[in-house]
Structure 1
């Protein structure tokens, strides 16, 4: 029997092998990892989580490389970058994610959480976000599996309809009209909390371009968690810095339109 299992074990991914070696999984609790671990919330070491939305037109400016960026034809709105617990010690690289975990959400994720890189498929993006951040958030019961993590992210995306809020206030993508932080903050803060962060990147012309919005949420996903003291530490061990920076309060920035054909040059 032992020898007959060897080819199967060799074929398994390193991440899955690590997972199977965990005592709780080896004792027969695999279903907890597939459908959600229970009762772990009191072990959470983080109090704030950042729900981060990115504007595709600004994301492409962050790359400064025309050959890397793509904006799928069905993407014309703010997209999800991630849900990132801050200062978390609850991460586990040994919790794998498979395509079947999110298959029922794939159509929604493809629209609202697409990869904007030619070199990375959308599933690779989702799996990377789960490994780096989702597994850190999984100490909370409502986030304690890949399926639940991505379901919550999609619900938050529908809850925080930034495009509608901005459009209703006359803040629309433009090549010519610059905006200021206080103007945008005044529109978004009543809905996203005072602790939201408006992020820019600097384009190749030296202009500030709107890139992201980071929304601070508490563990129960209510807005307004004061994450700024934790932000320097980053969202968990697998985190890497975003190319964005807070938009300078006194400087104008541009909210560039989306151009599917020329994503890096929407204004010609």
Structure 2
């Protein structure tokens, strides 16, 4: 009996089909759309940052000068900031910015996370509370500063109102005290931004896989351990994003300070 030998077909690599002009345009369309904004940002943001850094090493004053003088301007700034007696206004500004930035960012992160955890418990009225917490972010720093200036004024706001209700021993004059006025700026800033941070954390909490939470609960994890060991580590990208946004807002808080304290 004869047998017929069979051979498996030889698989040859499929030849790459040429990409049509339409396909190339579709692939290039995102780059074409983003190219103008990328070039504008590169030139008018980072380009001018480099140009400003270059001018800081020249003898430029009102108008730019391109004669290099080295770090002479930074040496004068250092002596004026840290070696002058009494301390310079620049040193005072740096100190106040450090106090405000540290408290503002830290309290906003803590309060925003706490509010997000509370709203994540599927409480009643969540749809009403979310816009209430977010509403202050829709206001400008000027409006926030003026409103809190009236509210904290001892002769007009909270203190005067409580005196009318009979609590005559209550005193809250931080806005008139040069040693405590920086903390009133922190209060106003936290009131405005904490709701926005809450929204960021709430979105992060809603994005966590529920199966991970259920598995931890089955293993006997307490609510504190659940948030400390699972939830908060998973929210690290949200912490970073919130920190960047808050730090940016803290640096741009000039109008809040002027509106609340009339410049100090």
Greater per-residue helix proportion: 2
Pair in the same fold by TM > 0.5: no
TM-score, with structure 1 as normaliser: 0.24
Greater Rg over alpha carbons, structure: 2
Higher relative contact order (CA 8 A, sep 6+): 1
